[in-house]
Chain A
Amino acid sequence: MHRFLRLSVLLMGLFAAMSGYAVDAAQSASIVWGETTMPPVTADGQGPAIEQPIEFPHFRHAGDANKDHPEKGGMEINCMYCHTYARRSAVAGIPPLQKCIGCHQSIESVRESPRIKKLFEYWDAKKAIPWKKVHDVPDYVRFNHERHIKRFIFQQNRPFQEACGYCHGNVKELTVGRRLKAISMGWCVDCHKKDHPVTAEGGTSADGQAYWYAYKKPTVSASGVVTANGPNDCWMCHK
């Protein structure tokens, strides 16, 4: 009988611990639940390192300038200068080869470096570079770059590195791009559950009616600033 009681107590304890763990886990969605739709996550909680046809140095282009060693530092180019589609379309796409050449044909200094050589080989052959896809979500998930950029960069004037970096991580320190955040549903939802100040523009009536389907009712502060959550309407991302 004692053993029986002890056993049951033990079991209950286990369950409690598990669900507690699950809750934390969900909050910082960094662990895999063994579900087929979850990204494969390497030990450091990042995506796998990926070999690209050309080892594109993000840090050189987007990285911060380095006062004393300019050659080591970056050029602080805006993400959207190359990834120009991101603000105009749901998918960011890959810059056309033309874009790279546009600058590099006039940059003699690095012309002979192996990477640029390769670049020009592709260009002369008019062949598309077979880039490998870095951020892949399941095919029934439709993330809309345009919407997020419109809201966070053009409406709320946040620095592009913060806005882009929120999902893509600190790419400006990388060479070849790599997935730095667990881009999983729970992770997206976490952000959609956060309070965001929203503006009355963009077809959003000021009483926040358009947000009645968000995780929480919008709140309107005394100064008339509407705070609301992102949508939790499934059809926003799954169509």
Chain B
Amino acid sequence: MSVTTLLEGWSDWRHEHPINDQPHNPYKWAMSIDLDACTGCNACSVACYAENNLPVVGKEKYAHGQVMHWLRIERYWDEDGREFPDQGARFLPMMCQQCEAAPCETVCPVGATNHTPDGLNSQIYNRCIGSRYCSANCPFKVRYFNWYDYPTTDNVWPAEMNQQLNPDVTVRGKGVMEKCTFCVQRLREAESNAKSQGRVVRDGEVQTACQQVCLPGAITFGNLVDPESKVHKKWQAQQVELAKDVQAKDKEEGGSKLRGYRILEELRPYPSVMYLERVRDSAI
């Protein structure tokens, strides 16, 4: 470790903005979630527990807001004060948005969260010292801190239950931050296999746990760089561009007849998750 590496490597270590940064190639993982299809059934959240070794914290800790669900379903009501919500509720699956200019990355004192070449926002458990600055600076509040040592806590993974733990995902001990990883263990395995065969990952070859389980298929996931991928086509159809903070839709609200938007885009984190607005029929 020398100062020269530090200086040489400096520019490579920091990817502050998708535009003045090198473009992603060959991979940029991104998502598109159709809120009109999402029924709010929570299957994705459970699948996430199963795939990523999330601890079940129990009632008391949940009450203290120390729940660890990487993927939460939010339920919103109309705010027009009618007696009944007679146009139903609005469900929103919210997980780490894998921002291109992630507010969490710049503030971590030890660089435990970084931007990866395939456009993810990595979280390195064994590097984390638990300053929790990343969570403090996350606009979406999708980072979850290990307030207790769950592996050794009663009834989190008692005998037999621990056999279900996914060996590809590190089980987190106390004092580290964690968050949705877009199922990086699956992505990296697919990338590695593809590499062995001298090709890039095909569209649909790899799925995130939540996408795989989503009953109405509201979640589309794939490689944004690949022009043939579904997710790329969806982003294109909605005219949502990764590196912009004002999209075609925002220019003419509603008039554009587009549904695609990214949450808190005005803060310019350039999220990798595009949502498609929920629709309600005007005829009834």
Chain A residues with CB under 8 Å of chain B are 22-23, 26, 37, 138-142, 144, 146-147, 150, 186, 193, 201-205, 209-210, 212-217, 231-236, 238-239
Contacts and interface: CB of A to CB of B under 8 A. Distances in A.
Contacts of A150: 195-196
Main SS of the interface on chain B?
loop
B188 A239 contact: yes
Contacts of A214: 12
A233 B116 contact: yes
Contact of A213 (B8, B12, B185): B12
Given A201-B198, A203-B195, A209-B26, 19 more contacts: A23-B1, A142-B168, A146-B192, A146-B196, A150-B195, A203-B200, A212-B12, A212-B117, A213-B117, A214-B12, A215-B5, A215-B9, A216-B9, A232-B9, A234-B124, A238-B124, A238-B127, A239-B181, A239-B188
Interface in B20-39: 22-23, 25-26
B38 to A, nearest CB: 28
30 contacts: A26-B1, A26-B2, A138-B126, A144-B192, A147-B196, A201-B198, A202-B195, A203-B194, A203-B195, A203-B198, A203-B199, A203-B200, A204-B195, A205-B26, A209-B22, A210-B26, A213-B12, A213-B116, A214-B12, A215-B12, A216-B8, A231-B117, A232-B9, A234-B127, A235-B188, A238-B125, A239-B168, A239-B169, A239-B184, A239-B188
A239 B170 contact: yes
Chain A CB within 10 Å — which of B1, B116, B194, B199 has the most? Answer: B1
Interface in B165-218: 168-170, 181, 184-185, 188, 191-192, 194-196, 198-201
B9 A236 contact: no
B231 interface: no
B126 A140 contact: yes
Given A202-B195, A205-B26, A212-B22, A217 B12 contact: yes
Contacts of A204: 195
A239 B52 CA distance: 10
Contact of B185 (A141, A146, A239): A239
B1 A186 contact: yes
B122 interface: yes
Nearest to A37: B126
A201 B8 CA distance: 27
Contacts of A210: 25-26, 117
A79 to B, nearest CB: 19
B114 interface: yes
A235 B25 contact: no
Contact of B117 (A22, A23, A26, A233): A233
A232 to B, nearest CB: 8
Contacts of A22: 1
Q: Of B170, B185, B201, which is in contact with the most chain A CB atoms at under 10 Å from its CB? A: B170
Contacts of A205: 25-26
